[in-house]
Every structure is written in structure tokens, then in C-alpha cells.
Amino acid sequence: MSDNDKQPQGDGNNGGGSPWMKSLLIWVGILLAIGLFLTQFGGATTAAGSNTIPYSKFLDRVDEGTVKDVAISRDVITGTGTSGDKFRTYPISDPTLVPHLRQKNVTISAKPDEGTSMWMLLLYQSLPFLLFLGIAFFVLKQMQKNTGGGAMGFGKSRARMLTQKEGKVTFDDVAGIDEARAELTEIVEFLKDPTKFARLGGKIPKGALLVGSPGTGKTLLARAIAGEAGVPFFTISGSDFVEMFVGVGASRVRDMFEQAKKSAPCIVFIDEIDAVGRHRGAGLGNGNDEREQTLNQLLVEMDGFEANEGIIIVAATNRPDVLDPALLRPGRFDRQVVVPRPDIEGRIKILEVHMKKVPLAPDVDSRTIARGTPGFSGADLANLVNEAALMAARKSKRLVAMAEFEEAKDKVMMGAERRSMVMTEDEKRMTAYHEAGHAIVALHEPASDPIHKATIIPRGRALGMVMRLPERDSYSYHRDKMYANLAVSMGGRVAEEIIFGYDKVSSGASGDIQYATGLARDMVTKWGMSDKVGPVEYAQPEGESFLGYSSSQPVRMSNATAQLIDDEIKGIVEGGLAKAKQVLTDHVDQLHLLAGALLEYETLSGDEIKKLIAGEEIGRPDPSPKSNVPRAGTSIPKTRRPGGPFGQPSPLGA
């Protein structure tokens, strides 16, 4: 890293001047050089061609008495006529010229030679070459800025020192991942006061690996370390090490650690380290020599013969399974900090962090929003708050209310409403009964999650949807809930068959069938929930088979075992189908009631569905026709996707 790279990243108005001003001055200098060149040569040519007369005509004018004065030099004679006109001519060896001029009363003066000096000739001849060199220097300078070292700087590190001039991030801005934050807070405390740990024999950790799904806040944690540590903080991406030339990446690793040694104690953050730290020898054939050399150099620098004291490596990845085991061992990455998706309390804290920048209405409840967003990462929640703010701005509101958050949540989870789609009355009726079938089965299955919302308004790729949300975060999947979800997923298909007949069953349940089949397969082959198959794992190993990191081997089974597994999967799915048929047959009146309400109101909340089934008024005024609401009318050509347009089930059920 050069000294320039250590300067604060401001707006470009510091001592060096802005880049566009430097470029402007360079181009002005080039244009001035071109102008000087043209002026010198063009001026001489113009002067040489201005009113030049032959020598014989000059003598004739002298004889006629129309020459007033002349200036004679070795190479040229210039003069003025009696009428004031200027002229010039080139002399020949003529000893009678001066007496002849004196006879005609012409004023004579001598003029020194106009010959160009040797230095001026050299300057004129070298000016095009100097101009070419200047342009080439300018181009190479621009290449040096863009490639971090220019044509001779391939081996220079692209790590840059992170400054906190603007947008400083601290641990106060990191919420919902308290355990990960505590692990990294200890590293910051060690950097601030190493004697506190050293007197008990503790050594500073050499590396910390942040592992988590995309959007969980790994890079944000690294920025918070930079804001809290008060020590130099270098940041680089794993892809910056890898080039097409073998040895360049290793050279950049060496240069990065050399720069870090000069600023020790310091922190080096490598984002997406899996780009350079993949398992060696994992590729087909001879592998990638450049990447493996880079990884070897990184391993040596982190823990080799020469200790790099005071340099802490913090790296982030969402693919720890592909990293080389030598990179993960203690002494290189002493700590592997898992950055999980937040639970409900963590989601509340994250929402409160992002809501600080948004003017909120009094009815906004962060706990209600957090309960309705299970599985959301920090990035998802930030996007949710931003979507709600944009919706409020489109409505010209001054505050963001709970209605905007609910609408934004539905948009993020289910997709945007497609109110411009025109459906026939038959299609709307089948969609209503399909979604009502899911909802009625969910209401009568005690282990099912509560219904959050049911709608027949097309969203995303689905023509309708029933969304269920858990009352609290769960970390295990119980057998009774699995069977309940199987029955709920089959509820839509059963409702179509009961109401419209066997021949009118549509392809809308294909997504439901796909979900039910996958769940039943996991129950049999992964979780040992089949009495006939037993608690034996028959699932095929997941992930990339050529990595060589996992000891899992493809499952070998006999034909009889495979047939038994298929029979058990089919039996479990058909059991859910039978359960749904029993529930809907016993409560067909509730099915008609809920389908009618969906046709009338199009969207019902979970509480409204419960009131409706209990025979209470839902307390909503009659819907007024809207031009953008899909009503009965002319049908447009439409092909249903084979993934279940009448309610795409999520892992929480349809």
C-alpha cells in the first residue's frame, strides 16, 4: 500500500487537488505544446511566403525608383516600397548592388542572420517526440491508478486502510447477534489493553473466521471492529488476490503482510475468503496453480516460521464447507464465530436500529413485525423497513404506519400484488375454494401454525396463498407438526375434488405435492420417522462431491430397500391426503363459508377467518368495486405454471 492509499477517502478536495482538475491541467499542457509547435513552424512558413518577389523584379523596382529602404543580410533582403508595401527577396552574389542602391537614393541597413540556433532546431525536432512521451506517461499514470500499481505493480497488495471519516460503525449499530459480537469485542479489548490478558499467559488470537448465511451481518461486524478498535484496519476481498498470472496472488499476500507489519498492531479483514481459500486439489485435473500458490502463501504468513505478531486476520464466508482444513486449524483461525439468523428478540433489536432513520406512526409495533418475519436476516429486515418507507412516500404520507409495514412484509414474503390480472369467475371460484381448503384444514389441525393471512389476489407467481406464521421461533421439527403440514398441503387439492369433482381437479396443487413429497422423503430417509424403514439414514449426501472435505459417501441400498422407501413416502403423503379429506368432509359448510368470504373480500386476516368460522361478524364494511381489482370479465390467455398457482407452500406449510 502506498502512502497515498493511507490518506482519508474524502471528496477529493484535499492537498493533491481533485482528479478532474489534474486531468484538465494535463490536457491544457498538451494543447499548449501542440499550439507552440504549430506557431513556430507555421509562423516561419507564413513569414517565408509573405510577398516574396524574384531578385530580377527587385532590381526593376530599384531602377523605377519605387524602393524606399532595404535591410540586407546574408540570406535575405527585406525592404519597403515608396507606397509603404513590404517585400522580401533572396540575394545572389552581386557586387554592384550597393552602388546601384546608393545611386537611386535607397536607404541601406545591415541585418544579422535569421538562422535558427542549434538548440532551437533540436527543440523543434524533438517536440513531437516529447509530446508522445507526455501522452504515454499520462496513460500509464491512469493505468497505475486503476490497477493498483500500474504495469509494474501486479504484485502490490490491493488492501486499503479503512478510515472512519464518514459513516463510522460501532457495536451499537450491530444488533441481534450478541454472541458473535461478544467474541469480537474480546479481540478489540485485547488490542486496547493486551496486558490484561497477557499477565495470565493469554496470547492474542491470530485469526477469527465469521461464518453465516448471506445478509446476517458479517461485513457489518467487521466494520464495527474498525470503529471500535482504534487501530489500523485493512480491508480486502478474497478475489483481489487471484489473477491469471501464476505467482501474482502470492506476491500480493506477502506485500499485504509487509504493509500490515509496519502498522502493527492492526486488523486485516478478508471478505469472501472462500475465493482464495478453497480446498487444495479439489478441482478436476491439475487444479488451479495460481489459487493454490496464493493459499499456500497465506498459510505461511498466518502461521509459519516467521511470526507476524500483532496482526489479526478477520475473514468472512458463507461457504465454510469448501475451505481448506489447514486454513481452519488453531494458530491460523483460532476462532470460528457463527453469525446466525436472528431470533425474535434479535429481529426486534435489528428493526429498532433501522427504524431510527424512519419517521414512525404511533401504531407501529416492532414486536408484531418481528413475530411475522421468522427466518429473516438482518439484510432482509433492512429491506423490509426500506420498502415500508418507499410505500409511505408513494402515498405522500409524512409517517410510516403499521399498514405500510404489513404491506411491505407481504410484498417481501409473497411477492407484489398483480391486480391487473383478469381472471374469469370460474378461476376465481376455484382459487377461493383451493385456499379455503388449506385454511380449514390448518384451523382443525392442533399442531399447525396459526393462519396469518389468506388471499386470492395474485402475488408473484401464485394466484392465491394462505400464509401461516409460528407463534414463536422453533429450533426443531416435531412429528405431529410434520403430519399436520402434510394434511394442510393436501387441503387445496382435496377441496377442488370435493367441490368441483374428480375430473375438474387442476394443476394448482403441484407445488403442494412437491412440498409434501419432499417432507415425507426427509421423514423416511433423514429423520427415521418410518417404523418399517427404521432409524437409518438413506438420504444422499448434499454438497459438492469432488471437494474431498466430507467423508460422506453415496448411500448404497438394495432394490428392496429402495422400494420400501418409495412405498413409505407414498403412504405418508396419502395419509395426509386422507386426513385433509376427512376434515373437509366433516366441515364442508365452513369450506363454503370461507370460500364465499374470500370471493367477496379477496383478502382475510387470521383473526377474521376465526371470527367467520365462529359465526361472528368480521367487522369490515362491504367491499366497493375497484377498477384495479380482478373481477369477473373477459378472460385473457393464461398458462398456469406447473408449480401450484393456488398457493405455493413454504416450509411452514401452505
Catalytic site residues?
A: 435
CB distance 177 to 211 below 8 Å = no
CB distance 315 to 234 below 8 Å = no
Q: What is the largest CA-CA distance in the chain?
A: 142
In sequence order, what are the residues at sequence separation of 6 or more whose Cβ sits closer than 8 angstroms to the Cβ of residue 491? Answer: 437, 438, 439, 440, 441, 442, 580, 583, 584, 654
H-state helical runs in 501-605: 510-525, 559-586, 588-601
Which residue, 357, 426, 355, 449, is CA-closest to 654?
Answer: 449
Which residue, chain included where needed, has cell 471492529?
225
* Residue 297 to residue 275: CA distance in whole angstroms: 15
Q: Give me the half-sphere count of Cα atoms (radius 13 Å) on the Cβ side of residue 644.
A: 23
CB distance 240 to 248 below 8 Å = no
* Residue 31 to residue 131: CA distance in whole angstroms: 10
b or e along 72-93 (b: 16 or more beta carbons within 10 Å of the residue's beta carbon)? beeebbbbbeeeeeebbbeeee
CB distance 519 to 485 below 8 Å = yes
* Residue 455 to residue 42: CA distance in whole angstroms: 82
